[in-house]
């Protein structure tokens, strides 16, 4: 599933094949994504030259002279560069074909992803306007998180996963970062001191950084002839380890549900 590191890996993988090239044809086979693919998108995008491939949170932005395509991979989405001869698979919902013959092909079984078009500055698009800072930017600091958490009684875990606070921290990373920081996922966000918040921010950055590094193996698949999806692997310390011994203290990892999301923590290491 695409977490921020995989979206970033996707961006890095597709950017060199798209940059500076023009869209020759757009084929949408199923418009029923998270939001319907706009009716005029094919017309809007065709003929445009791609000037930048950016990422904002988990959104990918294909910028052109005439507007920007906004792509989200949802939970099960995947973008790959293919050529003509590559047979269509189930759930291949759209193709963006370039004048080089490369085809950017989107596959998404659950259709939680999206493909939208805007002629305005995408930063002011309703989906992007309210987003918090990038987790790997300097703006995302302990002081920032501390300030953003005062008076908040929400549990720190959903707070950390709130894209309005900081983007790109999904369920897996929230669990892992909280474990590394020794913070109980249920702790009220407003009751975490600055020092511990700094520790948490450091942990978030470390986990994401390590994941992006590991995601480099995923990059290979964009150029692989077999087109294998390639699964993102990461050394998870608590996620999915309910009942198993804590890597630090051997206590059984506890599994619970916070904000409708499965949560894992060590009752002895996290407070």
Partner DNA sequence: AATCGCGCCTGACGGC
Partner DNA sequence: TGCCGTCAGGCGCGAT
Which residues participate in catalysis according to the annotation?
2-3, 58, 261
Cβ neighbours of residue 63 closer than 8 Å, sequence gap 6 or more: 50, 51, 52, 53, 54, 122
261 touches 175 (CB < 8 A): no
Please say which residue, 19 or 163, places its beta carbon nearer to DNA.
Answer: 163
Least distance in angstroms from the C-beta of 47 to DNA:
29
Residues forming contacts to DNA in the complex (CB under 7 A) are 1, 3, 32, 34, 57-59, 72, 74-76, 90-91, 109-112, 126-127, 151-155, 158, 161, 163, 168, 170-172, 259-262
Least distance in angstroms from the C-beta of 235 to DNA:
16
188 touches 205 (CB < 8 A): no
Neighbour-count burial of 193, counting CB atoms closer than 10 A to its CB (0-12 exposed, 13-18 middle, 19+ buried): exposed
Please say which residue, 3 or 102, places its beta carbon nearer to DNA.
Answer: 3
d(CA 174, CA 264): 10
Please say which residue, 77 or 142, places its beta carbon nearer to DNA.
Answer: 77
Where helices occur in the chain by DSSP H, the ranges are 4-18, 41-45, 126-129, 142-149, 156-160, 171-181, 194-223
**What are the structure tokens assigned to 226, written together?**
């077999």
Least distance in angstroms from the C-beta of 72 to DNA:
6
Least distance in angstroms from the C-beta of 42 to DNA:
21
Please say which residue, 164 or 195, places its beta carbon nearer to DNA.
Answer: 164
**What are the structure tokens assigned to 181, written together?**
């920081």
């Amino acid at each position: 599933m695409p977490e921020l590191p995989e979206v970033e890996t996707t961006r890095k993988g597709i950017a060199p094949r798209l940059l500076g090239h023009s869209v020759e044809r757009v084929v949408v086979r199923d418009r029923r994504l998270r939001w319907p693919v706009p009716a005029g998108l094919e017309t809007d995008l065709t003929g445009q030259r791609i000037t930048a491939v950016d990422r904002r949170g988990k959104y990918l932005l294909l910028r052109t002279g005439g507007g920007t395509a906004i792509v989200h991979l949802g939970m099960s989405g995947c973008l790959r560069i293919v050529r003509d001869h590559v047979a269509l698979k189930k759930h291949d919902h759209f193709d963006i074909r370039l004048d080089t013959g490369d085809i950017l092909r989107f596959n998404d079984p659950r259709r939680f992803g999206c493909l939208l078009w805007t002629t305005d500055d995408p930063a002011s698009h309703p989906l992007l306007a309210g987003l918090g800072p990038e987790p790997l930017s300097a703006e995302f600091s302990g002081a920032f998180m501390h300030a953003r958490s005062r008076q908040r009684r929400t549990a720190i875990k959903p707070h950390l996963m709130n894209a309005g606070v900081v983007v790109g921290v999904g369920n897996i990373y929230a669990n892992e970062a909280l474990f590394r920081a020794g913070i109980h996922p249920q702790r009220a966000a407003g009751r975490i001191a600055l020092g511990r918040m700094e520790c948490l921010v450091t942990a978030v950055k470390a986990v994401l950084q390590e994941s992006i590094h590991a995601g480099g193996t995923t990059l290979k698949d964009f150029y692989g002839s077999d087109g294998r999806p390639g699964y993102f692997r990461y050394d998870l310390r608590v996620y999915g380890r309910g009942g198993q011994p804590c890597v630090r203290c051997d206590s059984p990892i506890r599994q619970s549900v916070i904000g409708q999301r499965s949560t894992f923590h060590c009752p002895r290491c996290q407070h």
